Structure 1
């Protein structure tokens, strides 16, 4: 257990906290507010942001997709450069936040913005950014990661940089009140798999990280069971749990997997599968494939998260409990977007993995292309 940990993002949590924007962004800033399809204009969030920015100079950019594309974000980058924007405010869920991070870093680069993804450009600085979170799921509001899609080539890839960690994030659970059920369910599942990617590796004896991960998983189970109630307390607990799932704490000093994400991203890029649902499709098959390495931790999860009793088949029953959790939320664990024989779909995903150099995935680098193929055959 050896690590350095810091998370400098200031969190303003609770009802009515959007007003904190006015104090969090320097008054002399020239702000670009970035958001998605316009739902924030229907739920009151936009009006609160406008009020909070009444003493600031600001403009807006809308239209960031559910899976933010380079093509759209390049338009925002052009605005930043031509209008000398020096502060960004993301108002939305993980996609808007990820897209804003991309804009924050790429706006200081003279070349193609995609250089940020390929690694040709490694940012040493980025524009400062703040966040108003409207959909809890990704934890992007207080971490240094982002995932972006290049529509022209159907690539969905990410980058990590401490330069794009938000300076502050407003987490007001009231912003969730008008969200469709599907988006809330996706948030639950996304947060669940984020914890799993940092937890289901091998037992480490790290009591804080493992114990806290188990608490978060139990939270999400309980929130799933109480999905129909969705009162103020439910919303607040989901918003805070999803943040803690990927703010860096539970993964600190821990082995991490992320193969489910690497494979799942390809389902989103190729067939526009919801991100969270792509993870639910891949995860159970991947866990069974990696039982040799993960059995001890899967069994620990069975005991400490699901309350299962010890048995020779405890690991398999735990995976079945994960599948039952997805089923309880009506989340498909099959690729329904592709009908009939899915051999071509498997080939397409494996080809993407090969193109990206994802030849050895997982915490043990044991998921080769052939293993990925077998996982996909079982999953799809």
Structure 2
């Protein structure tokens, strides 16, 4: 319980809040709107943002992919530099927002932006950022982290710096109305694992963080149970807000954090293009079983307080309940889409983990390459 917590992002939450951009960006700023594949032009978000930007000098950059690549983002970096952009407006989900954070940091650096991801360069300044969230999942709209892929080398790495913390986040649940089912499922699963990574560790007596994490998990469990009836304002608003709270820094303040599921999952995305949330569901149950003794107390607490399994529930029962939660959502917990053999697939992930220095993962540093190999042998069908 030793921590400093600050979240400077102003949240504009609710229907019609895209108009709040008008007062959130200083009038003298030159704005670059960054977005993805163009869905915002089909669901009305683009027009709302365009209206809110009336009177501003602004440009746009589109084409940021799911799992945003350095190769695409470097083109946006050049736009920021060439056009003297001093405010970036990210309009999209976590990929667009993460990508915009990279652009904001790399645009103030004369070297290769990838140096930020490999820790060769420490960020000391960045272009200001605001966000309009269109897909709830990552919490990136109000935190200081980003995950970027270098397609050329199949590397997927993360960076964190307070200099890319968004100044504001517009969160209008109405933008979710046109999202396909798989993206809503991915958002729900992503938020679930984000919460677990900060909660299923070891007991440190942090009552507030534990209770808040359990509340978020119960909310996500309810949203999963209501998924068939998701087309309503209440469901959308609760998923958007829960996903934000799962990774805005609060439940992780002053407590041990894991993130090994993410580190292994990132390699599935880099190697095979597995959607981020799906990679997490593939890895998590096998990882929890591998680390069950270290996590037993918190897993039993989760069984009692999230799944209502009873006072004498076991850690094994809780992991089974987590896996069943995924299966109820028709989300796979084993990976089958490798090209060659299971052995080659496991080896490929282990080699990537070794290359990226992921050799002592988890809250205890206990997930070595050997343990990762055991987890992968269970997670890969």
For normalisation by structure 2, the TM-score amounts to 0.98
- 1:269 aligned onto 2:300: no
- 1:25 aligned onto 2:22: no
Equivalent in the alignment of 1:258: 259
**Distance (Å, rounded) in 2 between the aligned partners of 1:148 and 1:206:** 32
Equivalent in the alignment of 1:239: 240
Equivalent in the alignment of 2:304: 303
**Distance (Å, rounded) in 1 between the aligned partners of 2:342 and 2:309:** 35
Equivalent in the alignment of 1:222: 222
**Distance (Å, rounded) in 2 between the aligned partners of 1:4 and 1:59:** 37
Equivalent in the alignment of 1:96: 96
Equivalent in the alignment of 1:55: 55
Shift of 1:310: 3.7
Shift of 1:319: 0.4
SS of the aligned residue for 1:228 comes to helix
Equivalent in the alignment of 1:167: 167
Q: What's the CA shift string for 1:189-225, capped at 9, x where partnerless?
A: 0000000000000112111100000000000000001
Equivalent in the alignment of 1:66: 66
Shift of 1:42: 0.5
Point out 4+ residue stretches in structure 1 off by more than 2 angstroms.
Answer: none
**Distance (Å, rounded) in 2 between the aligned partners of 1:206 and 1:354:** 33
Question: Which consecutive residues of structure 1, in runs of 5 or more, have no partner in the other structure?
Answer: none
Question: Which consecutive residues of structure 2, in runs of 5 or more, have no partner in the other structure?
Answer: none
**Distance (Å, rounded) in 2 between the aligned partners of 1:323 and 1:341:** 25
Equivalent in the alignment of 2:206: 206
SS of the aligned residue for 1:166 comes to coil
**Distance (Å, rounded) in 1 between the aligned partners of 2:243 and 2:131:** 15
Equivalent in the alignment of 1:36: 36
**Distance (Å, rounded) in 1 between the aligned partners of 2:358 and 2:281:** 20
Shift of 1:340: 6.9
Equivalent in the alignment of 1:120: 120
**Distance (Å, rounded) in 2 between the aligned partners of 1:301 and 1:153:** 39
Equivalent in the alignment of 2:138: 138
Shift of 1:341: 3.2
Equivalent in the alignment of 2:345: 345
Q: What's the CA shift string for 1:262-312, capped at 9, x where partnerless?
A: 00000000000000000000000100100120000000000000000244x
Shift of 1:339: 5.8
* Structure-to-structure mapping, 1:74-85, within 5 angstroms: 74-85=74-85
Equivalent in the alignment of 2:376: 376
Q: What's the CA shift string for 1:160-203, capped at 9, x where partnerless?
A: 00000000000000010000000000000000000000000011
For normalisation by structure 1, the TM-score amounts to 0.99
SS of the aligned residue for 1:121 comes to coil
Task: Give the superposed CA RMSD.
Answer: 0.8
Shift of 1:113: 0.8
Number of positions where the alignment pairs a residue of Structure 1 with one of Structure 2 = 379
Equivalent in the alignment of 2:16: 16
SS of the aligned residue for 2:178 comes to coil
SS of the aligned residue for 2:229 comes to coil
